Each structure stands twice: as C-alpha cells, then as structure tokens.
C-alpha cells in the first residue's frame, strides 16, 4: 500500500477575514453549530494534548462537555496520566477535526480544575452505567484482563443498586482557558485558509497564516 499516494483536494468552503467573527469564541460557536447541523460524527470529540514534567508530550481524544467565553470543559480521572500532566504543567491544547466540513480548530491555553460543585453537577447528569463505570475503572492502570474490569463493575453495580451513585473523589472536570485559537479551512491545491486569534492587551488580534 502506497500511503504517500493518499490525498484529498479540499474544495467545500473558504475562510476570509471579512467572514470571521471578531471574537474567537463567537467563531467557534458558529463553526460548532454548523458541524452539528452537518451531522459530523462525534462532533464534540477533541484531541487533548498535555506535556509531562519530563517534557514528554501526550495526546488523546476526550469529549467537550461545555464551552463559553470562560473556556472549554472536559471530565476525567484526576489520577490519570493527563491529570498528572496537568498537575505539573497546566498548559494544554485542544484540536477539533471535522472532515465532513474540511475544517480543523486548534486551541491553546491553561487548564484548571472545575469546582467540586461543577463536577458533581455534571456527574449527576450522566447515565447510571457511566457513573458506576467511573468507580470500576482506575483509569489507565494496568489490569489482568477484561474479566477483572467486568467483575469490578458488577461489584459496584450491586453496591449502588437502587441508589444515587456518588461522584468519586478523584473524578472531575477541567476548564481550559484559551489564549490562542487557529481556524483552518481546507482549500484546493493545499492553499488552505488559516486564521489565528492571539490575545494581546486583553483583546483578540486576528492574523492570516501561510498554509
């Protein structure tokens, strides 16, 4: 298989400065709503990239659960590798890729923990099985086999049967507050449109980047 021969010419849309919102949060909202309308698969899936205390980068797909002008929120186990990374180095990035629209968004900033009340509010809204799963899984720890995980799930299912499942202490959310955005629209001939937003003196400056 010749992987180098795999290519796609992007022709759907363009992105011009005159079309872009003055505020990157508004631009994100517009594109996110368009992605929802286009029925993009897993529209709220994003790659969260962190860096360990040793300078080793790591990325994984997580789900966006809320966004507003204060930032972008997601949830995880605080004792997971990403939790350990963020405890040592709060700088992180988010990447959205929506191939159906030939678009990508990159967001960089600082991640901080949500309050316990905010985390509990979201946890309580989750399906019962997902709540139990948060207790059954010590995220990223090595286990012997699938059976071990299923047995733990069954044990906690029995423990919390017919009760409200409490939020585990080590489970909660983060909010990434951005200081940089980049909106990428695929164009023909690899002459893609790239607009960046960088905050300077508490205001957002838009710049066009070479593809």
User: Any idea which residues carry the catalytic annotation?
Assistant: 190
Bridge-based pairing state of the strands 171-185 and 203-208: unpaired
Instruction: Name the 3-class secondary structure at 135.
Output: helix
Bridge-based pairing state of the strands 45-51 and 71-77: unpaired
Burial group, residue 125, by CB count within 10 angstroms (0-12, 13-18, 19+): exposed
Task: Report which secondary-structure segment, H or E, holds 70.
Answer: none
Cα–Cα dist 196/192, whole Å: 13
Instruction: Give which of 7, 3, 186 is closest to 105, Cα–Cα.
Output: 186
Cα–Cα dist 126/165, whole Å: 10
Contact 184, 103 (CB under 8 A): yes
Instruction: Name the 3-class secondary structure at 186.
Output: coil
Cα–Cα dist 179/133, whole Å: 34
Instruction: Name the 3-class secondary structure at 142.
Output: coil
Cα–Cα dist 94/114, whole Å: 17
């Amino acid at each position: 298989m010749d992987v180098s021969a795999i290519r796609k010419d992007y022709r759907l849309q363009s992105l011009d400065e005159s079309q872009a919102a003055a505020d990157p949060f508004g631009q994100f909202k517009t594109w996110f709503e368009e992605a929802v309308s286009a029925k993009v698969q897993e529209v709220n899936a994003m790659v969260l990239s962190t860096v360990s205390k040793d300078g080793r980068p790591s990325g994984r797909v997580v789900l966006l659960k809320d966004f507003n002008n204060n930032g972008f929120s997601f949830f995880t186990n605080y004792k997971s590798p990403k939790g350990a990374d963020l405890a040592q180095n709060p700088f992180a990035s988010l990447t959205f890729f929506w191939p159906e629209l030939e678009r990508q968004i990159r967001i960089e900033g600082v991640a901080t923990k949500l309050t316990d009340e905010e985390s509990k509010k979201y946890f309580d809204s989750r399906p019962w099985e997902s709540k139990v799963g948060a207790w059954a899984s010590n995220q990223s720890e090595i286990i012997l086999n699938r059976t071990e995980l299923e047995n733990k799930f069954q044990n906690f299912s029995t423990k919390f049967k017919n009760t409200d499942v409490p939020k585990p202490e080590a489970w909660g959310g983060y909010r990434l507050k951005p200081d940089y955005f980049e909106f990428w629209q695929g164009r023909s001939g690899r002459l893609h449109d790239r607009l960046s937003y960088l905050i300077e003196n508490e205001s957002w400056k838009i710049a066009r980047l070479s593809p």
